[in-house]
Amino acid sequence: MDLKKLIISLRNLNMPTGDFAIFGSGPMAIRGLKKPSDLDVIVTKKLYNQFKITPGWIEKSFNSGKKYYLEKNGIELWNDWGPGYWNIPQLIATAEIIDGLPYVTLDNVLLWKMKNGRQKDIDDITVIKKFLQNPLHHTLRT
């Protein structure tokens, strides 16, 4: 999907600052390191429950029904994250603000991808490490 369109859709949700952060491939995509297929957004339980009753959002199961998320137009809202334990409020609180939106730090994306260990994660680990080693890395703006 087109990152700019996803960002516009996310901004149109008018979510309160401090209640969400972009995770998954989003922190890589905003830096031009990867093209997103969707936008994974971690949210507080309160915000998740608000969107759960909002028309148009579909709750889907993940990992054999162990985790659930809401989806609409390429935006996925998660109030839980895996594998392993992730402190969602902490990830949100420590997010980097880029163009007015919070993104989970690349260090945390790297940790998550190392825990996942899928082939696409292994490929992304190499890209993230190379990016973080460059002291002149730049952020692309949407």
| Range 3-133: architecture per CATH | 2-Layer Sandwich (3.30)
Can you give the residue ranges of every domain in the chain? 3-133
142 residues of the chain, pLDDT tens digit each = 799 999 999 999 999 999 999 999 999 999 999 999 999 999 999 999 999 999 999 999 887 667 789 999 999 999 988 887 899 999 999 999 999 999 999 999 999 999 988 889 999 999 999 999 886 665 444 4
- pLDDT recorded at residue 142: 41
| pLDDT for the residue numbered 56 | 95
Q: Where are the strands (E) in 2-99, listed by range? A: 20-22, 39-43, 58-62, 67-72, 75-78, 96-98
Distances (CA, A) of 2 to 50, 110, 142: 26, 23, 11
